[in-house]
């Protein structure tokens, strides 16, 4: 089928490229000319394993093209995906201005019957609004427009794998014919299809992300309790996860969730509930727990050193998770900002996200090209992202390069008992801190 995708952000680009890869002819549209020029050269503007190679392959096979002209982009398409951003407003609501602009542009340029598929995460009722906007603005009133809500469930860093190996594809529509078309488009993925009403599909996306965020905040609260009661949260999580009703996913204690989805979607769902005169108290607590959890390493460091003023601290891992360069809502932002405010000198390193990090982190941060450079002559290390390069880094190098080998691990990368052999003082989340056996914490201060 001939498909147009409006928006070449994370969701739009991955969606368009993967649809091309299963045989459809796809045109990706974006108003950002610089981004379109880059894509036409076969270069991905975002870091996602395997994406750039897939872009290049499908361009060579004439199934994928890019344009900044919406008229040319949707001219032949019978299916138009909307995958523009819906960032948070200051009050936590979703900013739908890009959605509205896309709907108006579609209405002005469509010349035949189309199915509009919303990939963007939007508040419940937005697809009805998209339909109304298009009906109001379309030039030819005889053109039939059907709306389908088709939310994405992609994880950054594994989005291509998720597209081809997802748990379900949700198709929400009031038109059986339109739903049939979208189901046919997605058949090559060989993933279970779940058909619902439009509003149920919209809610499924928010409810799924909110539930996963709740699991993360729950295990983080358990981790804080484990520290006070001398239990090990990794053992607790493993024991919990063996229960099939609970499962092991999203039970890794640490410094909280970040990224483009969980913070935005949890805040938006609280606002959606408020607009419906429903106080979502549980989700409010989830958000508050996450905010506090991001600062837990700061609290541990201040307790350990009394003051951070004058310390040189290395921060390893800046992106909100491994295998992405995305800095949106990354824990490194509030952590590093507070380290700087506390008088510490910060050296930072990330395998991929350094350049994006420079745009959002304080100007006082010194960016390094390697782990060794970052940790040299430092007083302690903060681990904020569990990149394989960081997890697999030779532990013996920490005491060799550092002034004193003290690690604050926000992702529980290591077994505390093993750190003793390397003469490393180790503080993690939800587990007892490990000090050198010959020294006492009071002496170390």
What Å distances lie between residue 131 and 85, 113, 126, 149, 185, CA to CA? 18, 13, 9, 11, 21
HSE of 196 in the Cβ direction (CA atoms, 13 Å)? 17
Q: What is the pLDDT of residue 260?
A: 85
Catalytic center residues: 261
Per residue in 81-106, pLDDT (tens digit) is 999 999 989 888 899 999 999 999 99
Task: Indicate left, alpha or beta for 80 from its phi (over 0: left) and psi (-120 to 50: alpha).
Answer: beta
Of 291, 293, 290, 285, give the one whose Cα is nearest residue 227: 293
Q: What is the pLDDT of residue 8?
A: 96
Find residue 114's DSSP bridge partners. Answer: 145
Per residue in 147-200, pLDDT (tens digit) is 999 999 999 999 999 999 999 999 999 999 999 999 999 999 999 999 999 999
Q: What is the pLDDT of residue 237?
A: 98
State phi, psi for 108 to the nearest 5 degrees: -75, -20
Q: What is the pLDDT of residue 445?
A: 42
Alpha-helical (H) ranges within 138-232 are: 159-164, 176-186, 198-229
Q: Low-confidence residues of the chain, pLDDT below 70?
A: 436-445
Q: Which residues contact 343 (CB under 8 A, 6 or more apart)?
A: 307, 308, 309, 310, 311
Q: How far apart are CA 99 and CA 123, in angstroms?
A: 11
Q: What is the pLDDT of residue 211?
A: 97
Long-range residue pairs from 287-293, CB within 8 A, at least 24 positions apart, any chain = 287/213, 287/263, 289/217, 289/220, 289/221, 289/256, 290/213, 290/216, 290/217, 290/220, 290/256, 290/257, 290/263, 291/256, 293/217, 293/220, 293/254, 293/255, 293/256
**Domains along the chain with CATH numbers:** 2-196 (3.40.50.720), 205-292 (1.10.1040.10), 294-444 (3.40.50.720)
Q: What is the DSSP string of 355-413?
A: HHHHTTS-TTPEE-SSHHHHHTT-SEEEE-S--HHHHTS-TTHHHHHSSS-EEEETT--
Q: What is the DSSP string of 258-290?
A: -TTTHHHHHHHHHHHHHHTT---HHHHHHHHHH
Q: What is the pLDDT of residue 436?
A: 60
Query: By CB neighbour count within 10 A (0-12 exposed, 13-18 middle, 19+ buried), where does 394 fall?
Result: exposed
């Amino acid at each position: 089928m001939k498909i147009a995708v409006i928006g070449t952000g994370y969701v739009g680009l991955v969606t368009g490229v993967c649809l091309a890869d299963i045989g459809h002819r796809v045109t990706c549209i974006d108003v950002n000319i610089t981004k379109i020029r880059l894509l036409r050269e076969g270069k991905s503007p975002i870091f996602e394993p395997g994406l750039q190679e897939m872009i290049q392959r499908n361009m060579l096979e004439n199934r994928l093209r890019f344009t900044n002209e919406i008229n040319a982009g949707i001219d032949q398409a019978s299916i138009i995906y909307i995958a523009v951003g819906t960032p948070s407003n200051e009050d936590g609501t979703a900013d739908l201005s890009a959605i509205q602009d896309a709907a108006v542009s579609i209405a002005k340029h469509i010349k035949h019957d189309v199915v509009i598929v919303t990939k963007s995460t939007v508040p419940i009722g937005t697809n009805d609004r998209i339909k109304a906007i298009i009906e109001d603005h379309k030039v030819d009133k005889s053109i039939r427009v059907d709306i389908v809500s088709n939310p994405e469930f992609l994880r950054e860093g594994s989005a291509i794998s998720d597209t081809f190996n997802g748990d379900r594809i949700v198709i929400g529509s009031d038109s059986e014919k339109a739903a049939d078309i979208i189901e046919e488009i997605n058949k090559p993925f060989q993933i279970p299809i779940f058909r619902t009403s439009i509003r149920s599909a919209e809610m499924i996306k928010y409810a799924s992300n909110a539930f996963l965020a709740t699991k993360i905040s729950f295990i983080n609260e358990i981790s804080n309790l484990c520290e006070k009661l001398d239990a090990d949260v990794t053992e607790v999580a493993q024991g919990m996860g063996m229960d099939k009703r609970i499962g092991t996913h999203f039970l890794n204690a640490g410094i909280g969730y970040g990224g483009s989805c969980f913070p935005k979607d949890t805040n938006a769902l609280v606002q959606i509930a408020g607009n419906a005169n429903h106080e979502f108290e549980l989700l409010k607590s989830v958000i508050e727990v996450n905010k506090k959890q991001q600062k837990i390493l700061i609290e541990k460091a201040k307790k350990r050193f009394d003051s951070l003023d004058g310390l040189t601290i290395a921060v390893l891992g800046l992106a909100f998770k491994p295998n992405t360069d995305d800095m949106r809502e990354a824990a490194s932002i509030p952590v590093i900002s507070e380290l700087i405010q506390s008088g510490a000198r910060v050296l930072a390193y990330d395998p991929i996200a350094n350049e994006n990090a420079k745009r959002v982190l304080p100007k006082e941060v010194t960016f390094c090209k390697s782990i060794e450079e970052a940790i040299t002559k430092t007083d302690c290390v903060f681990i904020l992202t569990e990149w394989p390069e960081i997890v697999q880094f030779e532990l013996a190098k920490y005491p060799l390069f550092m002034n004193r080998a003290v690690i604050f691990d926000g992702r529980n990368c290591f077994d505390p008992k093993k750190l003793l052999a390397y003469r490393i003082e180790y503080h993690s989340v939800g587990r007892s801190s490990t000090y050198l056996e010959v020294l006492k914490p009071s002496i170390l201060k």
